[in-house]
Structure 1
Amino acid sequence: MDPITQGLLGASLSQSFSNKQHLVTAGSIGLLAAMTPDLDVLIRSQTDPLLFLEAHRQFTHSLFFIPIGSFLCALVLHYLLAKKQGFSFKQSWLYAAIGFSTHALLDSFTSYGTQLFWPLSNHRYAWNAVSVIDPLFTLPILILLGLAIMKRSVLFSRIAFLWAVTYLMLGVVQRDRAEAAGWELAKERQHNPIQLEAKPSFANILVWKVVYETHNAYVVDAIRVGSSVKNYPGESITKLSLSRDFPWLVPGSQQAKDIERFRRFSNGYLAQDPTNELRIIDVRYSMVPNQINPLWSIELSPSATMGTHVEYAVHRDSSSESRQLYLDMLLDF
């Protein structure tokens, strides 16, 4: 989730356990502690472009790291914010732990994937219930926290947290509706999917990108689940085959290892880019949900040495045509 939303949710829960005298300070500690786990984005390498993919939402987002991470936050925030307000260090640590604990769980409701049980497991939990940015989720929390401070009442903070939980549960319901519609669409095509996932499109829980895997291809569709269900049939692409698509790739080379790293990150949803035969794309994400137009990819080089890494690229489809297609689905035009 975006850092602002993470901070606001952490503040709402920390304030929910405070009183009106401690409301502002408890909320400030919870807000800053809840944003802290995303400092893992600073873990990067100039020579290994995939390192940040592996490090993001890893150890700082593990449930086992909450006591350590929140303690480090408390060490700083107690002396910056809380001590002058008469807080004990235990109180500061408590509010930091409450705020810090919301981060990984909220991230798990998105579709990126969060390693909740690292180092015991490298599995990325992605419950696909909410977009990484969703104003309808964030703005009510912001307004209610503002009221909590103005009115000096924890009631509004508790309502803010309740709204967050309610919206996430609604996202789960919407996801299940989209998946059910996706299975039905595949059945109509006489497809028998190996696996199928529904992911919220950008900033809403109305329009979903449904991706399913057949024996040799991935199929993507957009499905709008409002009062009724509406399908927007999409595209398909052949699944990646290294022996077919990259016959020159040397097994055991760094590029081959990087493909496997990217495969784990992408949950296997890989294909060769039809517009660039040296590029491997993550099929799961696109701006227009019924298109195969990736948000990120890796690019190989036939002339690379055994120790050379792949190149990583982020693609931002911000064309007016794509925006209009997306809005037409969202607004049901």
Structure 2
Amino acid sequence: MPIRDVALALAVAVLWGLNFLAIHLSLEQFPPLFLVALRFALLAIPTLVLVPRPDVPLRWLIGYGLGFGTLQFFGLYLGMAAGFPAGLASLVLQSSAPFTVLLGALLLRERLSGRRMTGVAVAVAGLGVVGLARGGLDGWVPFLLVVLGGFGWALGNLASRQAKAERPMHLVLWMAVVPPLPMLALSLAVEGPAQIGDALAGAFTAEALPAWLGLLYTIVAGTVVGSGVWVWLMARHPASTVAPFSMLVPVVGFVAAWAWLGEVPLRGELVGGVLVVLGVLWANGRSRRRRDEVWATPSAASTPSGRRPAPSGPVLDDAAEPVSHTRTTARLIPARPRAGIRSGYGTEHQ
């Protein structure tokens, strides 16, 4: 990925890391399923009026809304409402990354390198360490609910990637049209009109202001800005390249939860968090040898001009990233022994 896209992915990780604090504040006022419906309804209404529908197949728009908007927050909000800590939820939700890598390989036939699979495995091990350190037997139900949210996020990742929207922001906004009705129906059935009415009765007091501020943050920063940039990245890079950056979200989530909510990470959580970060860094790195060898082709030395012929299709490196053919690149060519120069491979720029 270019440096600009890496910086954007890191910015999304910060926005989404702080998102868990905002969700925590909102859940103190509203029941979880109703909160999901309210969150997306407030975004869907102006979207239907002001934003043109994205020119993407309807199945991918609905799939994105059901995966990212509905299933993800169904699991996350229920898990946090059941007592799962905000900092830990920010980590467990990153199960979306290995889910995305696995589904991308199985459904989209994306090529995975051994390096990337190793990095993801290390990050997943870190998630397991944190879960064992804090979850325990009493926390399995909230834990599995948040994991279900991670699976929904992964499904949304693949749907948004397949949509290939020319205007990713329009796709993000129209995704919000999908969750309100099914989530409101679930809220009425599970939480009941009485609980919803009690929450709304106290929603317009000074004590409810933090809940509204948290809701505003999740809508603007979490959904519009964060998801808009994320969809833009997913449309331009393999899912297995972008998804591991989401594992940096818990780093921000842990720090924010410690600073604002007084959640002190346990030793196991810190160890697991380090493993997550190391796994992400390893999965998104490329060895110098593989980066160079991707340009070394047998036909380069055999052509009359001695230059590599233009490829007939996209070239993929070891990390399965598209490589531009217009940029200045380095490739290895056999170097003839000359006086005073070591024989072996030299570097040629074209």
Q: TM-score, normalised by structure 1?
A: 0.30
Please identify the structure whose Cα radius of gyration is greater. Answer: 2
Greater per-residue helix proportion: 2
Instruction: Pick 1 or 2: higher relative contact order, CA cutoff 8 A, min separation 6.
Output: 2
Greater per-residue strand proportion: 1
Q: TM-score, normalised by structure 2?
A: 0.29
